[in-house]
Structure 1
Amino acid sequence: MSDPIKHECGLAFIRLRKPFSYYQQKYGTVMYGLNKLYLLMEKQHNRGQDGAGIASVKLNVEPGYPFLHRLRSAAPQAIADIFRQVGEEVNELEKYQPDVKSHPGLLKGHLNFMGELLLGHLRYGTQGKNNVEFCHPFIKRNTIPARNLALAGNFNLVNTEELFDLVNINPGPFQKQSDLAAMMEVLHHFLVKEDEQSQTQLDVVSVLKKAARLFDGGYHIGGLIGNGDSFVMRDEHGIRPSYYYIDKDVIVAASERAAIRTTFNVGENEVKELMPGQALIVKANGDYSIEQILEPKERKACSFERIYFSRGNDEKIYKERSQLGYNLSDAVLKAIDYDLKNTIFSFIPNTAEVAFYGLLKGMEDYLNKIKVERILSWGKDYDEEKLSEMVNRKIRVEKIAIKDVKMRTFITEDASRNEMVQHVYDITYGTVRKGVDTLVVIDDSIVRGTTLKESIVTMLSRLEPKKIIIISSAPQIRYPDCYGIDMSKMGDFIAFRAAIELWKDKGQENCVDEIYHQCKELARTGQLNSENITKKLYKPFTAQQISDKIAQLITPEGLKVPVHVIYQTIESLHSACPTNTGDWYFTGDYPTNGGNKVVNKAFLNYMEGKNVRGY
């Protein structure tokens, strides 16, 4: 993605179902659980750059001894930092007991994170500051084991203020900045009540049903309870991804299917998807069940997971990203007037690479069709040279754009900084015939357009192509997200800015003011969540008009090379990614009422010059 956006936390949950001695005998190490937790987190490292954390619960601990432990880090390599500390603790034990790893009971008694229940988290900060206090898991401690809770998740809630009110808590400055704090308070509130009323075993299903019905947002959460129970749950729309794997040795859950497959070396069909509104409940004795906590609603799994967020080594995601590129073939062929001989194809490194292969296949299919038609039209009028020339025609592919990962913009002065930004991407000289070749470059999405204008288009123009065509494998991003992706300001979106410019071109800026006043009225009457009023901003314009205006906006002043932009359509997005139809950032159709509130608030903030979040 040329305009990087912060996004998507990652969750890792492991429940060991056997004694530690079993793993030592079968797998050769008593550290089996911690090793797998490390791998499961590293295989999802694409999901968190701001910090990480782990928690563990030990079963059957003698009264008076600690059973719940947590370690968090906001270091640049947070996962490595956490497990380095765990390793140092093991090394320290080995100084006094060299063969401590051969004594599972002894190691469990002295190593904090030698627990049967393990929870790991990778954090991308969409709310709160990027320091260790905001890293998951959060914990609640109590002298009664069943009232201890460790909680982590991949989510955002849009009704945190209401949640604090519901449990009669006046949040402090820290709690106000963290939706996990709100979720924790609500869950812990019902957990304590359940424990107070419970005569026998804790009813985790009852706790989740009472708490989850209050949450407005998309979430995939995991929790460890001090009595040995644990759970993983997904929101009723299935907005955030959730997968699990179970065998006789372990119960595992994570945010990505491929991470589980790689870590435990299992087949695709062995890893299951936790369906919308469901929870995986694991009792203290290792028994488990899949429970329907919330009635499932229309599935709105996040489409950005397939376009960009999740790792592409999942075979289904790989095929879908390839199909996204393939689906753009017809539009690209029309844009280049079917002139493949004078067109070079490339991609923005590195996340657009799979979609590029799909686009390339589309071009090859068209070229092969033309080859067959031409050869058939010759009849017998050809020789070896003529036939060879036709058969050997190929799509022209070059690695044009190269991201210089070493570049850091260390100068804050605007003029100098803009000059530095231009060089974040470099180009391959000598690949383009000046004034002859059209250059087609695919990106997985275009959010702000800033990097395109200030770096990529500027650099590509130095090759002096006849024309530059930028393709987005995602549709136009028009609306904020509020379910886990850090896109909450309307003014950041180039599609939104394009719509505003089109209103100005028509001399009808007053219409934008009218929409603003309608929004203000909804705010006055407490009805911001009733509808997405900002859809009216786009209604008069076709997608093509907005794309054309975006092309103007990303063209640096004075550039003589024509720039065109092609976006994926909503329909072709759904055909490529049929199971992930959550598309509110493209369509404005939010799965929960809280989404309408966020988008309207974001528009009000823009109109009132407030550079703050929409939630």
Structure 2
Amino acid sequence: MSDQIKHECGIALIRLLKPLSYYQEKYGTALYGLNKLYLLMEKQHNRGQDGAGIATIKLDVQPGKRYISRHRAMGANAVAEIFEYVQKKFADVHKETPELLQDTEWLKENISFTGEVLMGHLRYGTHGKNSIESCHPFLRQNNWMTRNLVVSGNFNMTNVDELLEQLFELGQHPKERTDTVTVLEKIGHFLDDENQILFDKYKNEGFSNEEISHQIAEHIDVASILRRSAKTWDGGYTISGIFGHGDAFVMRDPVGIRPAFYYHDDEIVIVTSERPAIQTAFNVPLESVKEIKPGHALIIKKNGTVSEEQFREPEEQKSCSFERIYFSRGSDASIYKERKQLGLFLCPQIFDAIDNDLKNTVFSYIPNTAEVAFYGMVEGVHKYLRDFQKDALLNRADKISDAELEDVLSLTARIEKIAIKDVKLRTFITQDADRQDMVAHVYDTTYGLINRGADNLVILDDSIVRGTTLKQSILKILDRLGPKKIIVVSSAPQIRYPDCYGIDMSRMGEFVAFEATISLLRETGREDVIDRVYRNCIESEKLGNKQVKNYVQEIYSQFTDQEISDRIAQIITPKEIKAEVKVIYQTLDNLHKAIPSHLGDWYFSGNYPTPGGNKVVNKAFMNWVEGKNQRAY
């Protein structure tokens, strides 16, 4: 994606099902869990570069001994910093008494982070402050072991104000108006409630207070706590949690918007946001890694029992398609195939745009994340060439001449690496004009590959959000090569609507598709549509969530996709360039054909999977009309 946007965070949860001594004996290290947690986090580093955090819990620790450890760090190198901090604790032991590193009981009693339950989180701050306090995991601490709670997740809730109001009604006084705090405190409240119910039960049965603590730890109903906590949540979420005594869970929203994968055997349970992280770190086959079902939670009890239990009624699954197009790593087998299909399905539109002139067309891509879709597009080009050559050689009525034969057989796809992202340039110059000139040099190019004034240049991108980088940098650089026409191709459809489930796309005015549509409405004298939609959005604030519709869809219904694409091409084309610029987008139909199991397409279609989504898009439009540069939830 040439326009960088921040997006879903990443989670990792490990539960060691054997004593630490087992891993020391079998794998030669008591740090087996920590080493694997590090691998899982590094293999998902793409999911968060604003910060990271880990937490561990030791099982069956004597009173007075610390059993919860947490460390967080900021910045792109946070994962390395965290594990350097943890590693130093063991390095110090190795320096003074190396034999103690083999003593798992001593390590567990004396060194932090030697726990059997481990949690990791990678953070992309879509809206929150980038501070250490904003980094997960979050702790809710209590002297009762079973009331302690550690939470981290990949989530955004659309109804934070409503959830906060519910906390007020419970008598709580949250310190922040964030969905992280509301989630933590909501689960924490019902965890406390469950503890109290069990305490009263066992107290009436004559158990001592010490015995009651053990009974609560054994019988606490995790699924019930999650059912009561998530009853009114509206959003996309994968949330992992650990109770102080060792029960752990990972819960996934009823629509399956956010991803969650798991694997378990008799030694270990692992949950991550991306499947290849598990496959790589543990060398397990694809079919052994399962997906947590929407509306379900994977629950790992302290005694090692693993179950997948429903906490909300699952709805029609609308998993995020952007995960497949861009956010998740393409090393997942199914994602790799889907991205190739996205590129392949674009070929008919591309051939029309170049008038089937492959001889005078160069194909390339930008940025590197578009590479896999590009391979699919190239396969489509090669197929077209084979069909063309077959037709020329087999279906001619007259005999083909030697010169014509040579011409047909010499026709090949011109595949080149045209644009290369250069080192990150710091635009420290204060004047806007100077800064824009610096931005124009973010990419470098390969000269001598384009026949000036004769060649078409096809450039594939993952998606086009704002079009800023294309206008300020990429198109200017490509124009220096002298192509006759530049065709910018997006493997994703037009991004028209804000996301409210974890992607940093929340303001209507940021989308070049929206800018193009508004300019068309004004040009054609249809400003009344803008006014009507605005009035409907205002009226919708009086309705309940389930009655609210996405009124902003009317804005786009006035024009064809092609009309909007053509206007986008005009908007992103710098005045000074000579080449003709055309923009091609993936169609929604082809998106669903390429990615049939991830039908969440609200940012393209406006069809939000939860009631809160419609409320958010209407509010985002109102904010734009009113000139408020703020998110809508």
TM range (shorter): over 0.9
After TM superposition, the structure 1 stretch with the greater mean CA deviation from structure 2, 516-525 or 29-38, is 516-525
Equivalent positions of 1:189-228 (< 5 A) are 189-198=189-198, 199=202, 200=215, 201-228=219-246
Please tell me whether the aligned partners of residues 51 and 78 of structure 1 are also in contact (alpha carbons under 8 angstroms).
Answer: yes
- Within 1, Cα distance between the matches of 2:351 and 2:157? 43
SS of the equivalent of 1:115 reads coil
Aligned to 2:88: 88
- Within 2, Cα distance between the matches of 1:487 and 1:171? 32
Per-residue deviation at 1:62?
0.3
SS of the equivalent of 1:99 reads helix
- Within 2, Cα distance between the matches of 1:71 and 1:230? 19
- Matching of residue 480 in structure 1 with residue 498 in structure 2: yes
- Matching of residue 13 in structure 1 with residue 13 in structure 2: yes
Equivalent positions of 1:134-283 (< 5 A) are 134-168=134-168, 175-176=176-177, 178-198=178-198, 199=202, 200=215, 201-283=219-301
- Within 2, Cα distance between the matches of 1:393 and 1:529? 58
Deviations 1:5-62 (A, max 9, x none): 0001000000000111111111111110000000000000000011000011100100
Per-residue deviation at 1:429?
1.1
- Within 1, Cα distance between the matches of 2:424 and 2:558? 44
Percent identity over the alignment is: 55
Amino acid at match of 1:52: A
Per-residue deviation at 1:380?
8.8
Aligned to 2:549: 531
Equivalent positions of 1:424-443 (< 5 A) are 424-443=442-461
SS of the equivalent of 1:340 reads coil
SS of the equivalent of 1:446 reads coil
- Within 2, Cα distance between the matches of 1:123 and 1:290? 26
- Within 1, Cα distance between the matches of 2:222 and 2:583? 51
Deviations 1:114-167 (A, max 9, x none): 100000000001231011100001010101011000000001011112112212
SS of the equivalent of 1:516 reads helix
Deviations 1:560-609 (A, max 9, x none): 31100000000000000000000000011101111111111111111111
- Within 1, Cα distance between the matches of 2:451 and 2:40? 47
- Matching of residue 349 in structure 1 with residue 356 in structure 2: no
Aligned to 1:505: 523
Instruction: With the length of structure 2 as denominator, give the TM-score of the two structures.
Output: 0.95
Amino acid at match of 2:572: I
- Within 1, Cα distance between the matches of 2:509 and 2:353? 29
Aligned to 2:432: 414
Amino acid at match of 2:141: R
- Matching of residue 465 in structure 1 with residue 466 in structure 2: no
Please tell me whether the aligned partners of residues 429 and 463 of structure 1 are also in contact (alpha carbons under 8 angstroms).
Answer: yes
Please tell me whether the aligned partners of residues 167 and 174 of structure 2 are also in contact (alpha carbons under 8 angstroms).
Answer: no
Please tell me whether the aligned partners of residues 75 and 81 of structure 1 are also in contact (alpha carbons under 8 angstroms).
Answer: no
Please tell me whether the aligned partners of residues 499 and 506 of structure 2 are also in contact (alpha carbons under 8 angstroms).
Answer: yes
- Within 1, Cα distance between the matches of 2:76 and 2:609? 35
- Matching of residue 63 in structure 1 with residue 81 in structure 2: no
Deviations 1:414-458 (A, max 9, x none): 111111111111111111111100000000000000001111111
Per-residue deviation at 1:293?
1.4
- Within 1, Cα distance between the matches of 2:76 and 2:379? 39
- Matching of residue 105 in structure 1 with residue 134 in structure 2: no
Per-residue deviation at 1:95?
3.5
Per-residue deviation at 1:98?
1.9
Per-residue deviation at 1:527?
6.3
Per-residue deviation at 1:528?
9.5
Please tell me whether the aligned partners of residues 529 and 595 of structure 1 are also in contact (alpha carbons under 8 angstroms).
Answer: no
Please tell me whether the aligned partners of residues 528 and 600 of structure 1 are also in contact (alpha carbons under 8 angstroms).
Answer: no
Aligned to 2:210: none
Amino acid at match of 1:516: Y
Aligned to 2:206: none
Aligned to 2:211: none
Deviations 1:166-223 (A, max 9, x none): 12268879521x3111100000000000011124410101101111122110001110
Amino acid at match of 1:256: E
Per-residue deviation at 1:529?
6.5
Amino acid at match of 1:309: F
SS of the equivalent of 2:251 reads strand
After TM superposition, the structure 1 stretch with the greater mean CA deviation from structure 2, 192-201 or 261-270, is 192-201
Per-residue deviation at 1:68?
1.2
Aligned to 1:600: 618
After TM superposition, the structure 1 stretch with the greater mean CA deviation from structure 2, 240-249 or 378-387, is 378-387
Distance 1:171 1:328, change over 3 A: farther
Gaps of 5+ in 1: none
Please tell me whether the aligned partners of residues 167 and 173 of structure 2 are also in contact (alpha carbons under 8 angstroms).
Answer: no
Aligned to 1:303: 321
Please tell me whether the aligned partners of residues 462 and 491 of structure 2 are also in contact (alpha carbons under 8 angstroms).
Answer: yes
Deviations 1:469-488 (A, max 9, x none): 00000000000001011110
1:376 to 394, 399, 416: 394
- Within 2, Cα distance between the matches of 1:391 and 1:291? 61
SS of the equivalent of 2:271 reads strand
Distance 1:393 1:252, change over 3 A: same
After TM superposition, the structure 1 stretch with the greater mean CA deviation from structure 2, 323-332 or 62-71, is 62-71
After TM superposition, the structure 1 stretch with the greater mean CA deviation from structure 2, 370-379 or 520-529, is 520-529
Please tell me whether the aligned partners of residues 528 and 597 of structure 1 are also in contact (alpha carbons under 8 angstroms).
Answer: no
Aligned to 1:516: 534
- Within 1, Cα distance between the matches of 2:555 and 2:11? 37
After TM superposition, the structure 1 stretch with the greater mean CA deviation from structure 2, 122-131 or 376-385, is 376-385
Per-residue deviation at 1:409?
1.8
Per-residue deviation at 1:386?
5.6
- Within 2, Cα distance between the matches of 1:222 and 1:50? 19
Deviations 1:476-528 (A, max 9, x none): 00000010111100000000001100001102223212221221222356769
Aligned to 1:50: 50
Please tell me whether the aligned partners of residues 247 and 301 of structure 2 are also in contact (alpha carbons under 8 angstroms).
Answer: yes
Per-residue deviation at 1:387?
4.4
Amino acid at match of 1:122: L
SS of the equivalent of 2:250 reads strand
- Within 2, Cα distance between the matches of 1:381 and 1:560? 42
- Within 1, Cα distance between the matches of 2:50 and 2:64? 35
Per-residue deviation at 1:94?
2.6
- Within 2, Cα distance between the matches of 1:171 and 1:459? 56
Amino acid at match of 2:549: E
Per-residue deviation at 1:559?
2.6
Per-residue deviation at 1:303?
0.1
After TM superposition, the structure 1 stretch with the greater mean CA deviation from structure 2, 397-406 or 115-124, is 397-406
When the two chains are superposed, the root-mean-square deviation of aligned CA atoms in Å is 1.6
Gaps of 5+ in 2: 203-214
Per-residue deviation at 1:110?
1.7
Please tell me whether the aligned partners of residues 49 and 75 of structure 2 are also in contact (alpha carbons under 8 angstroms).
Answer: no
1:542 to 549, 553, 560: 560
Please tell me whether the aligned partners of residues 529 and 597 of structure 1 are also in contact (alpha carbons under 8 angstroms).
Answer: no
Per-residue deviation at 1:251?
0.2
After TM superposition, the structure 1 stretch with the greater mean CA deviation from structure 2, 314-323 or 61-70, is 61-70
Deviations 1:523-569 (A, max 9, x none): 35676971111111111111001000000000012333110000000
Amino acid at match of 1:197: I
- Within 1, Cα distance between the matches of 2:490 and 2:75? 34
